[in-house]
Structure 1
Amino acid sequence: MSAPLTIAIDGPSGSGKSSVSRAVARALGVGFLDTGAMYRALTWWCLERDIDLTDADAVAAAARDLPLTVGTDPDAPTVSVDGTDISQAIRTTRVSTSVSAVATNLQVRAELQQRQRDLMAQIAQETGGVVAEGRDITTVVAPDASVRVLLTASEEARLRRRSTELHGSTDAAAVEATRDQVVRRDRDDSTVSTFTEAAPGVVLVDTSDLDFDQSVAAVLAVVTAETSA
């Protein structure tokens, strides 16, 4: 009996890794895990409980106690904390501008990375495979994944995509309003995570000049090539 298919997808903000990963999971009929949502969920939880995000020990304690449930259906991924669905709340500007303070906490990373490994194994067993996306997923969380992909794109392309997603526009004002969430977060996260260069064994897919369908097709082609080798 063959082992479940595990696919790890990393990349900078706006590279398309979340939407592409969901589409790849859907096409393959396997489960999906958004590991970045876990950091956002912890950020929301800390903000709701007035935990000082600069207090590394307090945030790490919150991570260990976080009552988190993550839905794994690529068509309807959900995130709940203590029974409250926060799928939309974790995408607000309030959380987006604060999440780096949580995601760069090394104690938090260690805790959530282990949860991610456990979830990947559980999802793969339940659905026959898993597509997991997020920081460190190809190198730290799942270096032994069946397929490892680094999705990348030019800064211009990433800003344009995230601006469209958040503001429905790519005019100059919308792009500038988006810059902090893309460029600053990548800069902050790069202090604890490597996601701009493909590690050995990780396949680089540049989506700068690809539309969504082409990006999905490119990753599926990598999956086919890697699993048939």
Structure 2
Amino acid sequence: MNPLTSHPINIAIDGPAGAGKSTVARLVASRLHYVYVDTGAMYRAVTAIALERGIPPEDEDAVGRLAQRLRVDLRPGEEGQLVFADGEDVTSKLRTLEVNRSVSLVASYEAVRMKMAEEQRRMARAKGVVMDGRDIGTHVLPDAELKIFLTATPRERALRRFKEMGEQTEITLEQLEQEIVERDRKDSEREIAPLLQAPDARFVDSTGRSIDQIVDEIVEWGRAASRTISAGEK
């Protein structure tokens, strides 16, 4: 019997913007037959809906009230995960320049983080989840059996985002790199659930490495952790 079927674990992947967390987490989940939870997409959904409804991202009270009422669902799609907010497919709205510039602020609000973390913990109760974000191993799932802190240089992360945004952006690569550096600072210094590497997390630098290399490494760690738990329960 496959020990991962009998003894699924939770895997938390944290790191700064543009480090490749979502891609890596999605592939690791697929390889292990786990459920992938893109927490960053949940915060982006709140941000996108706030902008769409004319709520200023700077209005913490209004954004907090929106988050408490908003239902965010993650569903599998033919080309990847789909994100719905109150039944509306907002997947295509999550990576706009406006959302990129406001999501860090929205995600810093206590009311927003409390509601999203509550939903994320609910998803993880049954185990067998790969979850990525900025505070998963330290705040959302501190008891996750495997924790990863995935990062890359600001230049490489900016280049990835620049290619991802494509023709829709008028921002330069240099400007995007500065925005990423500034977001790193904000995420690390915020009072509520800041971006930190959990003491027991494995540090992985993706600079100059292929996605396949990183995925292979994390999958093996996941299998080893599951085998350890399985052996301990015999």
Fold in common (TM above 0.5): yes
> What's the counterpart of residue 105 of structure 1?
109
CA deviation digits over 1:138-171, x for unaligned, max 9? 1100011121111122223222322232238xxx
Tell me the TM-score normalized by structure 2: 0.85
1:191 to 2:189 alignment: yes
Q: Contact 1:79–1:85 (CA<8 Å) still a contact in 2?
A: yes
CA deviation digits over 1:26-58, x for unaligned, max 9? 111111100011111001111122112222121
When residues 227 and 181 of structure 1 are mapped into structure 2, their CA distance, relative to the original with a 3 A threshold, is farther
The 5 Å alignment of 1:59-208 reads: 59-72=63-76, 76-121=80-125, 124=127, 129-167=128-166, 174-192=172-190, 193-195=193-195, 198-208=197-207
Separation in 2 of the partners of 1:73 and 1:143? 29
Separation in 2 of the partners of 1:213 and 1:200? 26
> What's the counterpart of residue 41 of structure 1?
45
Tell me the TM-score normalized by structure 1: 0.86
When residues 82 and 157 of structure 1 are mapped into structure 2, their CA distance, relative to the original with a 3 A threshold, is same
Equivalenced residues, count: 219
Q: Contact 2:95–2:165 (CA<8 Å) still a contact in 1?
A: no
When residues 181 and 84 of structure 1 are mapped into structure 2, their CA distance, relative to the original with a 3 A threshold, is farther
> What's the counterpart of residue 223 of structure 2?
224
Q: Contact 2:7–2:226 (CA<8 Å) still a contact in 1?
A: no
Letter in 1 for 2:99: V
The root-mean-square deviation of aligned C-alpha atoms, in Å, is: 2.2
Separation in 1 of the partners of 2:133 and 2:172? 25
Query: How far has the Cα of 1:180 moved from its partner?
Result: 4.3
Letter in 2 for 1:142: L
SS in 2 for 1:101: helix
When residues 79 and 109 of structure 1 are mapped into structure 2, their CA distance, relative to the original with a 3 A threshold, is same
CA deviation digits over 1:73-93, x for unaligned, max 9? 696201011221010111111
Query: How far has the Cα of 1:118 moved from its partner?
Result: 0.9
Separation in 2 of the partners of 1:177 and 1:55? 26
CA deviation digits over 1:106-164, x for unaligned, max 9? 22111211111112226x4xxxx111101100110001112111112222322232223
Separation in 2 of the partners of 1:30 and 1:65? 29
Letter in 2 for 1:179: E
Separation in 1 of the partners of 2:32 and 2:90? 27
When residues 74 and 218 of structure 1 are mapped into structure 2, their CA distance, relative to the original with a 3 A threshold, is farther
Indicate the larger mover: 179-188 or 106-115.
Answer: 179-188
> What's the counterpart of residue 24 of structure 1?
28
Separation in 2 of the partners of 1:14 and 1:220? 21
Q: Sequence identity, in percent? A: 39
